[in-house]
Amino acid sequence: MALKISTRGQIDPFIVMDVMREANALDAAGGDIVHLEVGQPGTPAPERVREAAAAAALSERLGYTDAMGIAPLRERIAQHYQNFYGVDVDPAGVVVTTGSSGSFLLSFLAAFDVGDRVALAAPGYPAYRNILSALGVEPVVLETRLEDRFQPTPELLAQVDGPLDGLIVASPSNPTGTMIDRDGMEALTQYCHENGIRLISDEIYHGITFGHESVTALSFDPTALIINSFSKYFSMTGWRLGWMIVPPDMARSIECLAQNLFISAPSLSQVAALAAFDSHDELRENVARYAKNREILLTELPKAGFDRLAPADGAFYIYADVSGMTNDSAEFCRRMLTEAQVAATPGLDFDPYRGNTYVRFSFAGSEDDITRGVQRLQDWRNNAN
């Protein structure tokens, strides 16, 4: 008799990871792939962070920490909110997690029960939808519009049939890079408050913006769950460290979940991350590099026929409408990978309904990668025509 396998794992894959695996296999076989698929900074962790990690590895015991994180880091994160947003945060409400992925799991488990309904934008980060599904929570996909910068609005929420228990917003967004301005965030938080909807705000790309202000939902809603990470702005993807800001009435339940699921976030990463907040000069230089890469793509992609692009307000992505080239973005990206040796992510990863005509390019890598990649795309498309 065959043994049972849980249906929880029968969710959609995170396609960008599949693309990266295929691209890495081609590299290993002697290829020369330009990686525009993964949202991973091409820059290392800040110098001070690396120095702190080396010192800690030699001198610290590096055992388990409190499930909520070490006190100095929680205090430093709270101070960050005062410095950057003018918002007072109690360190007791700061939860240090194993990447933002740990934050998503903890927040979804603590806020929602099986059968609850949570709204989220399409296009949007696929792990929201997939984790919710694995937990038995119903994702309610909002088909957002370019006119609204691919972001949720109160008007769009009001059109949803049936009650909503939660809303996930991301500003800047993955994959579009679009942002919610201060008025838009205030309107969303007010709508959620009036309708009993728990707001979860993904703010992991804060700091990586291009002429736009990062607005935290915490400025308007003290009951919102705020998620951030050291991965993107702080260039610490592999360190697997994120954080949450949680309201007092949820702190204990999140702590109990964290104790049982993770014990604690990596202690070496926590100790080293203290130095990240003293590294803003270096980090702003990284953002300047992203800005240059962004300008290269915005200027050169249209020359390859990619001329319908979402406003890239922040993060490090260009979301391109390729409906004039294909109706199958997955096959289009496979051909791009094998024929042009450029890895990009099909829009189906981010939008199961309309993503067949979109492609996401990441400009988080080096300027040389961006320049080589866009030249290859121009040659590929010109040869195709």
Whether residue 185 sits in one domain with residue 87: yes
Domain that holds residue 141: 47-276
Whether residue 59 sits in one domain with residue 32: no
Tell me the per-residue pLDDT of 22-57, one tens digit each, with 9 for 90 and over: 889 988 988 899 999 988 899 999 999 999 999 999
Whether residue 217 sits in one domain with residue 79: yes
Q: What is the CATH number of the domain that holds 246?
A: 3.40.640.10
Domain count, the chain: 2
Lowest mean pLDDT among 26-30, 128-132, 246-250, 284-288: 26-30
Whether residue 285 sits in one domain with residue 239: no
Whether residue 219 sits in one domain with residue 267: yes
pLDDT at position 260, please?
97
Q: For residue 276, give every residue at least 6 positions away whose Cβ sits within 8 Å of its Cβ, in sequence order, or none.
A: 45, 46, 48, 49, 230, 234, 236, 283
Residue 106 pLDDT greater than 80, yes or no: yes
Question: How many beta carbons lie within 10 A of that of residue 97, not counting itself?
Answer: 29
Whether residue 368 sits in one domain with residue 299: yes
Whether residue 266 sits in one domain with residue 252: yes
Whether residue 266 sits in one domain with residue 152: yes
Could you tell me if residue 2 is inside a domain? no
Whether residue 332 sits in one domain with residue 209: no
Cross-strand partners of 168? 120, 200
Could you tell me if residue 377 is inside a domain? yes
Could you tell me if residue 88 is inside a domain? yes
Which of 242, 276, 310 is the endpoint of a domain? Answer: 276
Could you tell me if residue 64 is inside a domain? yes
**Whole-model pTM?**
0.94
pLDDT at position 385, please?
64
Whether residue 152 sits in one domain with residue 20: no
Tell me the per-residue pLDDT of 192-235, one tens digit each, with 9 for 90 and over: 999 999 999 999 999 999 999 999 999 999 999 999 999 999 99
Whether residue 104 sits in one domain with residue 229: yes
Whether residue 56 sits in one domain with residue 142: yes
Cα distances (Å, whole numbers) of residue 240 to 74, 76, 98, 99, 234: 16, 18, 5, 4, 12
